Each structure stands twice: as C-alpha cells, then as structure tokens.
Structure 1
Amino acid sequence: MKRQGGFTLIEMIVVIVILGILSVTAAPKFLSFKDDAQAGALEGLKAAMQSAASIVNGSFLISGADANSKVGDVLVHNGFPDATSTGIGEAIETADFEPYTTGSTPAGSIEYTFVEGGGTKCVIYTKSAALNVNPVIAVGDCTK
C-alpha cells in the first residue's frame, strides 16, 4: 500500500492557531491608518499656514502697508496674517478645517481642526509679537 503524504488535522490546527496569534499582534499596527492620516493632514495644514504667512508677508513688504492693516482681503498684524478667521483663515481658505473655539484659546492665537469628526489635535497659529517676526505655527492638543 502506498502511503500518501500530507498534513494531519492537528498540524493544520496548530498552523491556524499560530497565524491567528500573529494576526492579532500585527492588526493594531495596520488599523491605526485614521490616526496617521489625520496627523499627516494636520502637518499639511501647518505647512499651508506657513506658506500663506510667508506669501502675505511678502505682499505686505512690497505694498508698504501699515503693520496692522489689510493686504488684499487678509487682515495683517505686524506684517503677517492676524490670528483670526479674517487673517490666517482668509489666507488659507480651507473647507476641510474649521476654527476650533472653546473660549479657552489663548489671546492672539487661533486653532484649526477637522470639520468632520473633530479631533483632539489642532494646528495652533499664534500671531507675531513684533514687526516682521514669524508667527508660531504648531500642531498640538486642542484647548479644552
């Protein structure tokens, strides 16, 4: 009688259990795509704010406008967009993010987070303290 080669039922069950254990340990790494995507989008908004602030500052320097006036439709404070929806908000004009307001945002700052789904992280734009000093733009926790 010729003996047929193959796997026994026990061997197949052991392999399935091992694959199950591996998938349970590896799954969390692949299930955090939403958090990674949101972090990337906030970094993108931060870069857009930095670019918009630089462009507005260049327009301000060329125009010779007052330090606290308007350059085009953008309200300017010390040569850079003001920390308001008519300042940096007008400069970035985004539909995917909205100002995050709780009343706890420090004076001279504005926070932006996602329109849909909110989130606990914001891009925080703090207006410049002196003429031609870059504003501080950072990704951090939204104020509560």
Structure 2
Amino acid sequence: MDGKRKRIRKEDLYDHVWEFHFTEAAPEYWRMLDPYWNGTGRPLRRYFLPDGSQTAEPDDKIWGGHESCYSIVTSVLADGKIRAHYVRINRWPPMYVTRKEDWSWEISNNFCTYRSIPDADKKDGTGPLFLLH
C-alpha cells in the first residue's frame, strides 16, 4: 500500500466509496438537507465511476439525479514540481487533495468535503489493516 503518496489518481477515486458533506460555508438550504448537519442519518455517499462520471445513492435528497463528471487537474512547472493538483467536479470550485494519516483521501473546497472510507481489506485500500483475533 502506498499511504505516503499525495497525488491522487483516477483509480483512487473510483476504487473507494466516499462520504460527502457540506461545509459551514455552504448555503443553509443545502446544509439542512445534509445528515452531517441535521443528524438524521449516516453520511451521504458519493461514487466516482471509471468513465469519469459521479453518482450517489437513489434516496439521496441532495443529489437530484443531475449529470456529474469529474477530472483530475495537475499542472507541472518546468523543473518537474507540481504547481497545482486538484479534482474538478462539473464546473464547481476546485477540490483540493489531502492525504490523511490513516491513508484515506480527502478532497474539499470551501463548500463541501469528500472523504474516502477506509477499506484496508481491499487491494490498494486505504487505512492500515487491523486484524481482530
């Protein structure tokens, strides 16, 4: 497992289930539909698909069935250093990438946060594997 890698790949997006929630900066209307803020259930889940689309669960009140696509944007300087690295979903503000200590990924902007659900039991999963005896 490559828990130290900081540059996200397309496979990292579609190999994991993602928890989604709005941030405090998001409009109140959206926060009140979000279980993270109103305490009405488990976090919303999002799914990145290999074809570059994104989807949610059928009962997701926020999703609404709209089309959604994503891409990973990386710009590199002449010396090989990365200048910018983010995930773009539709035409929304860039989602900046962070690698967490448990090897999970977080992508976020001012309005929302996605966090990969640890799945150490999978090949190339995130999070250290803790075996229970």
Instruction: Give the TM-score band, short-chain normalised.
Output: under 0.3
Whose Rg is larger?
1
The TM-score, its normalising length taken from structure 2, stands at 0.27
The TM-score, its normalising length taken from structure 1, stands at 0.25
Larger fraction in helix = 1
Larger fraction in strand = 2
Higher relative CO (Cα under 8 Å, sequence separation at least 6) belongs to 2
